[in-house]
Chain A
Amino acid sequence: AQTVTQSQPEMSVQEAETVTLSCTYDTSESDYYLFWYKQPPSRQMILVIRQEAYKQQNATENRFSVNFQKAAKSFSLKISDSQLGDAAMYFCAYRSGPNSGGSNYKLTFGKGTLLTVNP
């Protein structure tokens, strides 16, 4: 079974600075997707960014980018120019792809990193 590990339970960053959240995963599959979800105090789960394993180019969404190291099974999230609204719990997640040979239904989450943004 796949596992997702977020080794930083809490992180803090100064407003306008850059912060990187770590995520590692364990899998024997070659076809999979990785996600970062944000959960603000409102509790709503919001997709931040996604990465297809077959794509070598790192995904980018405005101030959010990932460093996807497939061989190292690492998927870190970089937040540039941090804003107060970025304060939230961030979850890394793994999902098998349709050609993985396994179940592509289940999304496996890490335990989360609580990000605090200091003004």
Chain B
Amino acid sequence: NAGVTQTPKFQVLKTGQSMTLQCAQDMNHEYMSWYRQDPGMGLRLIHYSVGAGITDQGEVPNGYNVSRSTTEDFPLRLLSAAPSQTSVYFCASSSLMDRGLNYGELFFGEGSRLTVL
């Protein structure tokens, strides 16, 4: 029962480098999203997707890119890393179907700690 799998768990980058955070879920969820967590700021939505081929911006999308080619995968790309992108990143997914027992609940990955020097 894998749920939501994020890789890598830790990453150190230099300013200007690019990288991709991987996210995969095996629950056939339509909705997938990326959040960043910073001290005192809670979790802020970066990008989200409601199905393959459909993505949209969240609250803090600048500097990040996403795509959704399959239901299972939702990678987050940092195009040119900046120190301001030092954060903990969470991928989360949920069902958007009828009001079942788990309706509305987000299932989270374990998080990825990214440091940009």
Q: Which residues of A approach B to under 8 Å, CB–CB? A: 9, 33, 35, 43-45, 47, 50, 52, 91, 93, 95, 97-98, 104-107, 109-112
Contact = CB atoms under 8 A, between A and B. Distances in A.
B61 interface: no
A98 B48 CA distance: 17
Contact of A106 (B40, B58, B105): B58
A41 B116 CA distance: 22
16 contacts: A33-B104, A35-B104, A35-B106, A44-B108, A44-B110, A50-B104, A52-B99, A104-B96, A104-B104, A106-B45, A106-B58, A107-B33, A107-B92, A109-B43, A109-B44, A111-B41
B95 to A, nearest CB: 11
Contacts of A112: 42
A31 to B, nearest CB: 10
Contacts, number: 55
Nearest to B108: A45
B74 interface: no
A50 B106 CA distance: 11
Nearest to A111: B42
Contacts of A9: 40
B8 to A, nearest CB: 14
Contacts of B27: none
A47 to B, nearest CB: 6
B111 interface: yes
B86 to A, nearest CB: 15
Contacts of B58: 106
B98 to A, nearest CB: 8
A45 B90 contact: yes
Contacts of A43: 88, 110-111
A95 B110 contact: no
A110 B90 CA distance: 16
Interface in B95-117: 96, 98-99, 103-106, 108, 110-111
Contacts of A33: 103-104
Given A105-B31, A107-B106, A44 B45 contact: no
Interface string B63-102: 0000000000000000000000000101010001011000
